[in-house]
Structure formats: structure tokens, C-alpha cells
Structure 1
Amino acid sequence: MVKIIYIEHGGRPHEVELSPGKTVMEGARDNAIPGIEADCGGACACSTCHVYVDTAWVDRLPPRKELEDDMLDFAHEPDTATSRLSCQLKVTEAFDGLIVRMPERQI
């Protein structure tokens, strides 16, 4: 199991253990973490699973693909360095301890 830490916009943390192969979005959705709406269910067709990745993790994650970049244009206050769509972050053992923060709101 891989530990992911979700931090609500107001600062409340949630630690969740996920199996490799799940996405960070699925972990939030399946554990009722506030701040992740996941309207498209993980199809990278909206930006309602937008998160800010902790700066210590930015270079440790796979790079964004073009479709994710395009969808982030619709996110609330995207940050070019730390914004990701959590549906595009497939959990591996290397993600253990990943910290993501929710934006103030989704689109």
C-alpha cells in the first residue's frame, strides 16, 4: 500500500493508503476526501480533480501530457509548476508519501 496525503484548502489533512495502479483521484473519491469532484470519472475530460502537488514532489512525478495541460487551462487558479489532474497520477510504490493540496474550489 502507498500512503497519499490530501490536504484540504483549509489545511485539514487526510492520509489514505492506496494500492498501486489506482489514481490519486480514485483515492480521494473512494475515501470521500472533500475538494475532489471528479465529474468525468477519470477520463481527463474536465478539471474537477485539480490538485497542487507539493513542491518536493513535482520533479518526482511523470510529466504532464498534452491533454492534461489542455484541461488544466479550465482549472481554478492553475499553477504552471504544481498543478496536476489527480486522475492522471497513477499510483506506484514511488508515490509513497505524496502530498497534494486541493484548490479553493474546482471550476
Structure 2
Amino acid sequence: MVLRCPSSQTPPFLFHLFANMYLQGTMIFCGGCGAAVIPLPCEYVVAEGAPPFLAGSAAAFLGIFMPGIVLVRGTMGVSGGLRSRRWVKSGVRGLNAGAVGLAYTAVYRI
């Protein structure tokens, strides 16, 4: 089931800007690369017109940085206790090696 706004009520532009930047911030944080979302601000912000400068920049700033801040602050208590375990250290080293391998493969294919 998809929730939609009635046609007479569209979300305010600043909320729309915040939601789009939040989505981009999530993709940057979880995907690990900001270059992947470079075309999105052009499509979602520039093409739709600019909001008032101060309000628009505040909404965009909060939207793009909030996912990373929430995820990092939300997991700090759990990760602090897990870091001392040997199997966690080994797993993180394996994930790092896998990420380097995937990045190398992507660059090699280009």
C-alpha cells in the first residue's frame, strides 16, 4: 500500500528538499561513495527551482548529514563493546579486504 498526498495538498518545497537530500545522504553513507549521487542534486534541486537561500541550505545540510550522524551515534554503544572481540576484528579485516577488492575490480573494469 502506497500512501499519497491528496492532489490538493503537496508537501512544502523545503520538506521535499530535505527528503531528497536525506535519501542522497543515506545512499552516500551506505554506498560509501559520494560521486554516485552527484547528478541527483541537479535533478532534484536545480531543476525544481531554488528555495530561500538560508532555509534551503539548512534543510539540505540537515538532510544530507543526518543519516550518517544518526547511524554512527546509534551504533557507538554497541560497537564499543564488540570491538574488543577477536572474531569481530577478523570480520572487519575481511570486510575491508573485500571492499578494497571490489574497488580495485571497479577501477580495473573502467
TM-score range, shorter chain: under 0.3
Q: TM-score with structure 1 length normalisation?
A: 0.25
Higher relative helix content: 2
Larger RCO: Structure 1 or Structure 2 (Cα < 8 Å, ≥ 6 residues apart)? 1
Higher relative strand content: 1
Task: Give the greater-gyration-radius structure (CA).
Answer: 2
